[in-house]
Amino acid sequence: MEFCGLAFNTPLVLLSGCVGFGEEYTRVAGFSNRDVGAVCLKGTTGQPRLGNPPHRVYETPMGMLNAIGLQNPGVDQVVDRILPELDFSETRFIANVSGSTLEEYHEVTRRFDDSPIDAIEINISCPNVKEGGVAFGNDPDMSARVVETCRKATDKPLVTKLSPNQTDIAGNARRCIEAGSDAFAVINTLMGMAIDIESRRPVIGNNQGGLSGPAIKPVALLKVHQVHQVCRAHGIPIIGQGGVASAEDAIEFLIAGASAVGVGTALFYDPLVCRSINTGIRDYLDRHAIDRVTDLVGTLQLHGGGACG
Ligand SMILES: Cc1cc2nc3c(=O)[nH]c(=O)nc-3n(C[C@H](O)[C@H](O)[C@H](O)COP(=O)(O)O)c2cc1C
């Protein structure tokens, strides 16, 4: 299938922060990057970052909280040392760009533009950093300015990763399309907290973290549906994500309007999950006599007078 002019092996995308820099799972027996359409690399900033103090992850019912804090070696190291090691014959690779200022977003995007990377995801929705991140993503004016800035730095496909921690995600998407976004990733993690009742302190060193995994799937599906209402008229594709762990989950996202489906947290407990998701999607298409996966995208039939327009 095709996504933003890129040939994808399958509709699945491995999500940023869950697969290191694209090589992490290739050491797992039976795992192959060929099973997915694209791999999103860990969030990358202008300078190296050490990330947040521990604890950085905490398991919750049907999900997990994380506050890694964008630990990464900096864009120079990623472009000069890591990208040359990746096998671009296996899959498409998408960079994930973060920053504390517009200038940093511009510079990191420019460095990736001058590299073999296939596309660039703009992370304006990271809940785990003090400056930039979700503070940009929850403000439609700032979101649009970040997209505009990155657009000036590259002609490669730009995927804007939207925050679920805002009231009008569809309105924000509209602004990002006007600013030059080619696609969206919907959704990033939801802000959350866990408390140790003995110490009466937050479990996470950063006090709060981003909630991911099956617990957030219903929220993610609604957000994909809402953003799809805006994207449909412009032919703008969405990478739907949030709690996908089975073929049925992925099919729900496709029906809601996602052209591709991301898998993140599920990889931590089943690194080979993409194989069974691919098989399950093919079986579903056969069973329903649907020729191509794209024919399923956005086929949701709302009940009459549904509230989610
Ligand atoms: C440990 C961890 C680290 C993450 N790091 C990033 C990141 O660097 N950049 C980003 O855009 N999203 C990051 N995310 C968010 C995921 O890419 C994904 O959008 C989110 O977890 C929802 O999908 P899931 O429920 O399948 O994990 C991270 C998520 C986790 C669990």
261 beta partners: 12, 240
Q: Does position 207 have pLDDT exceeding 70, yes or no?
A: yes
Determine the 3-state secondary structure of 44 from DSSP: strand
Q: What are the start-end ranges of the E strands in the chain?
A: 2-3, 6-7, 12-14, 38-44, 57-60, 63-66, 92-97, 119-123, 158-161, 183-186, 190-192, 195-196, 201-202, 209-212, 238-240, 260-263
Residue 135 has pLDDT above 90, yes or no: no
Length of the chain: 309
Instruction: Output the pLDDT for position 227.
Output: 98
Average pLDDT across the chain, whole number: 96
pLDDT, position 305: 61
CA gap 107, 120 in Å, rounded:
13
Query: Does residue 113 lie within any of the structural domains?
Result: yes
The confidence score (pLDDT) of residue 125 equals 83
> Per the domain annotation, does 280 fall within a domain?
yes
**What is the number of domains present in the chain?**
1
> From the alpha carbon of 70, which atom of ligand 1 is closest?
8
CATH number of the domain within which 264 lies: 3.20.20.70
pLDDT of residue 115 exceeding 80? yes
Task: Quote the CA–CA distance of 193 and 206 in Å, as a whole number.
Answer: 10
Residue 79, pLDDT above cutoff 90: yes
Q: Would you say residue 308 has pLDDT above 60?
A: no
> Hey, what are 260's tokens?
């591709």
- Tell me if 123 CB under 6 Å of ligand 1: yes
Domain membership of residue 230 as a residue range: 2-49+67-194+211-296
Cα distances (angstroms) measured from residue 249 to each of 89, 127, 159, 254: 28, 24, 22, 9
Mean pLDDT of 18-27: 94
Q: Please report the pLDDT score of residue 194 as a whole number.
A: 98
DSSP 8-class letter at 231: H
- Closest ligand 1 atom number to CA of residue 212: 25
H/E stretch holding 21: none
> How far is ligand 1, taken at its centre, from the CA of residue 269, in Å?
15
306 band by pLDDT with thresholds 50, 70 and 90? low
Active-site pick, 4, 18, 40, 126 = 126
DSSP state of 219: H
Q: Is residue 299 within a helix (H) or strand (E), and if so which, with residue range?
A: none
- The answer, yes or no, to whether any atom of ligand 1 lies below 6 A from the CB of 127, is no
Token pair 């509209």 is found at 174
Distances (CA, A) of 304 to 47, 228, 256: 52, 18, 16
Is 160's C-beta closer than 6 angstroms to any atom of ligand 1?
A: no
Does ligand 1 have an atom closer than 6 angstroms to the CB of 164? no
The dihedral sign for the CA sequence 1, 79, 182, 174: positive
Rg (CA), the chain: 18
Please tell me the residue having the least CA distance from ligand 1 atom 19.
188
- Give me the numbers of helices (H) and strands (E) for the chain, helices first please: 9, 16
230 lines ligand 1 (CB under 6 A): no
Task: Judge whether 132 lies within some domain.
Answer: yes
**Does any domain span residue 152?**
yes
Q: Establish whether residue 189 lines the binding site of ligand 1, counting it when its CB lies within 6 angstroms of any ligand atom.
A: yes
pLDDT-derived band at 309 (thresholds 50, 70, 90) equals very low
Mean pLDDT, residues 263-281? 98
Instruction: State how far the Cα of 43 lies from the Cα of 58, in Å rounded to an integer.
Output: 20
Evaluate whether residue 205 is within a structural domain. Answer: no
Top mutation candidate among 143, 159, 165, 189 for ligand 1, by most atoms within 8 Å of CB: 189
Say whether the peptide bond before residue 177 is cis (omega within 30 degrees of 0).
no
* Cut 0.85: pTM above it: yes
| Residue 304, in any domain of the structure | no
Residue 158 in any domain: the answer is: yes
Q: Is 126 a catalytic residue?
A: yes
Q: Is 124 inside any structural domain?
A: yes
Element (DSSP H or E) covering residue 46: none
